[in-house]
Amino acid sequence: MHQKQKDLQLQYEGFLKTPFLWHGKGVFDLTQFETPRSETAPFTTVIKQKLRLGKLVERFVSNELQQYPSIEILAENIQIQNDKITLGELDCLLLQNNAPIHLEIIYKFYLYDTTVGTTEIEHWIGPNRRDSFVQKLTKLKDKQLPLLYSEYCKKYLDNLNLAIKNIEQQVYFKAQLFVPLKKYGEELPQINNECICGFYINLQELRQFSNCKFYIPNKHNWLLEPYTHVDWLNFDNFNTKLDVFLNEQNAPLCWLKKQNGTLIKFFVVWW
């Protein structure tokens, strides 16, 4: 297995280990798609071009679903068009135990900021404050899921011999969540707390970790659980690399290696 495929396999395993953000019917009355727990299978899909993280996750979900005898994928990434204008995309149409499901796939990184909104759900925002959990839920509820019922979608369903009244809509929503350092270890009532995998800090708070080692993975490796065999940086070198991100108002996901060997994921935020 060459290096690219090894990297993909590690990213796939990290993706599989990421918990669902809730179970059953959750926020906004959206039903979470549940997959049977299974042993990690090899990621066999050949990926020739560089995909952004969201598209890579869609390939990972597809690979995972193909492992289950009860699931048959009918179509993926279906572009719904009116003449030549693309109205949107259906991520996946599948049969689970012969029951048709429209599945929307989401994988997010959210930070808990109590200065945003007034409820727990409203407090979850993207690392760079450009998106939020509520915005994504609203887009799902108001735009992505209703697309299935539009007149322009009917011909695609007819080609698959699917009756719209029989299709259930579900989401495949996984997330990595990060809380302020002072809240790390606390539980929150409305989400699956297994998704909380680290904390976030600003530059001032970073100083308390000056005796630790650091690593900044590339975006695709945000999926991974931290491991020891990487090129760790000391505090000063880490700060130098960090400046490049923060000056562009990008909050990087980083790995922290404490003196006792403990490995933790965390974000350093510019805000």
pLDDT given at position 2: 73
Cα separation, 245 vs 206, whole angstroms? 15
pLDDT given at position 45: 84
> Does the pLDDT value for residue 161 go beyond 60?
yes
106-148 pLDDT, tens digit per residue, is 999 999 999 999 999 999 999 999 999 999 999 999 999 999 9
Phi-psi region of 53 (alpha: psi -120 to 50; beta: other; left: phi over 0): alpha
Torsion of CA 112, 106, 90, 83, to 10 degrees: 50
pLDDT given at position 46: 82
Cα separation, 259 vs 15, whole angstroms? 28
Confidence (pTM): 0.94
Average of pLDDT values for 242-260?
97
183, 112 Cβ separation under 8 angstroms: yes
Bridge pairing between strands 99-112 and 263-268: unpaired
104, 172 Cβ separation under 8 angstroms: yes
Report which residue type is found at 47: I
Report which residue type is found at 186: E
Cα separation, 126 vs 5, whole angstroms? 29
> Does the pLDDT value for residue 165 go beyond 60?
yes
193-246 pLDDT, tens digit per residue, is 999 999 999 999 999 999 999 999 999 999 999 999 999 999 999 999 999 999
User: In degrees rounded to 5, what are phi and psi of residue 213?
Assistant: -110, 155
pLDDT band at 5 (very low <50, low <70, confident <90, very high): confident
Report which residue type is found at 101: I
38-75 pLDDT, tens digit per residue, is 667 789 888 888 899 999 999 999 999 999 999 999 99
172, 189 Cβ separation under 8 angstroms: no
pLDDT given at position 34: 84
pLDDT given at position 28: 82
